[in-house]
Structure 1
Amino acid sequence: MPRNKADAIQFLETQWSSINDNKVKGIKAEVEFVSYLETNNVHYIPGGWIMMPGKNTNIDIPTSYKICLIPVCADFSWSASGQRSIVSPALMSAYNYFRQVGVKTYIVEPSEFDESNFQLPQGRNGNKKAQYPRSYPLDFKEVSPRGNFESVVYSDIFQNFPERNGNSGLRCNKVGRVNQSQYPWNDDNLVKELFWFEYARYYCQVDFLLSNNDLDLFIIGQSGFAYPVELKSKKAAHDPTLGEWFGLDVGPFAKMSFFTSNSMNTDALYVVQEVDDDRNFVNWLAIRFTDLVKSCSWVGRSGGQGMSGGASSTIKVPKLAFQNLSDLLVHL
């Protein structure tokens, strides 16, 4: 595992194609959102990775063969006690939610704990070959019918995913792109959590062709129901016909549609940290996804640069359709 926080940050840099302003804004917004929830005694649970086969060489419709990975976050010697975390009730709540909406779900945790073995991925440099080491193995577990955790064979989980041909398609991005002394990178606990989340995806991507989407977290309402959350930090845009509006990229729109397209009457939340032109905080706003689809514009528009660095396509949602987050939370 990373011998120090600098190693962990460098690993994250190798995995993120674009550490642009949107990426940093998204990370900061999630930290501030979690702080808001904790201050207001709102229970939340972690999200996970939703993965699909990258090609249809093994099956006809790759998007039908979704799996979910929920990483267990363990402490490092530089972040806390150096002891491995246990599977928490919050993780189990997330596990049960994904299973209930029809996604095969696995809890992922390290099976060994030796920081001295950590090696960074390295891209090809001249005659030097690219290397994508997995410094330690991960253990994939599911809950058996008897309620026990049982390890699952890694290759069985990904039996519908095409195997990667060597290092073809893998990338290793440059390090040294962030100032490690500045917020949010100086937060040990945050870096630890980001590392574990990204390593779980990296571990699988080295072996298999896959498409992945992340889910930020779930809010547990007063009714006990779980609501998956899509979180963005945005300034309201203006349209002559809609007035002020916030955008939601097509990818997250499809993801939230999946979570509401079942017979369980589930819903999802789109939460916006509204800011002004100078990035000063204005308000927390939110909307149920079932209300969003009733009020959003059916004519999309080209969006700006997404967190991955590429262009996005955006669904426009009128600001007037949103509620103050505090008002919505009492009715969940």
Structure 2
Amino acid sequence: MAGPRGVVETLITEITTEITTQEIALWTIAVATTVILFSIFAQRRARAELDAAAILGWACVRIAALIAVFVVLAIHVARSGWLTGADTATLDWFLAHRSAVWTTLAVAVTTVGGPAGVALVATVIAAAVGWQRRAIGPALLVLSPVALAAAASTLIKLAVGRDRPPVSAHLMTETDFSFPSGHVTATTALVGAVLLVIWIEPAHSTRTRSTGLRIAALCAGVVAVVAVMVTRLYLGVHWLTDVCAGALLGTTAVLATALVVTAVRLRSDRERADAASVGHTTPAPQVEPHPTPVTPPATPAPPRRPTLSNS
């Protein structure tokens, strides 16, 4: 038993060691980025062609690409790989650029962007959206990514077990593990949930969202996520790879929720289309068979009487 077990452990060590190299990290990020961009354009074409299988398939491809990058990043963090090389330098830069004004602003932003603050904001937004649309679906669409991201972040923190930066760098008290950032994960999930509500309309709705509104919402969301990422680094409670992982994890939770919503909507649309096609089908007219004419029996001719000859 020791022989096979030793071979397996050696193989795992070799694989994880290779993953932590610069080449593997860069190749993984490059390939994942290419796949994500290609899947976006491919899914648009699938939507135009109403190909449900392709729509869901490309959504799964994007999620798999994000998970691959996250896994590689987690292995680098656990093994002090190449991707963690900028962590210390980034922390030192923020420590050297602190001021009283920026500290006050950073504490305010990170308080709102924390798990408790995000949960409160998400609940308020979900209640408002549900009341406005008179449906529970949009409310669940807001809460689901936040809950999924929070659960995943808690489990991954325990699995990786990364220590935070030195306590001397902290401007806030934090006691749990560092990877990934729970603040960034929660904020990204909330921002993505709001974007889903804006992007995905109810199936019965005829309202349209302007491109300008969508772009503005996307830009505001990106600014909010980046702001929380910066404040966590500024306060000295996270490494650079922690906040990057939080953004990846929150985005993955949003895309997973969008995948479920899309699958449900496609199934509902297909069922309505099938029902409509059945309702509009005109049954073929039934032709009554012509009755077979009954021929009356022939009347027998009367017998001829014999004629008398005069001879």
TM-score by length of 2: 0.23
Q: Which has the higher strand share?
A: 1
TM-score by length of 1: 0.21
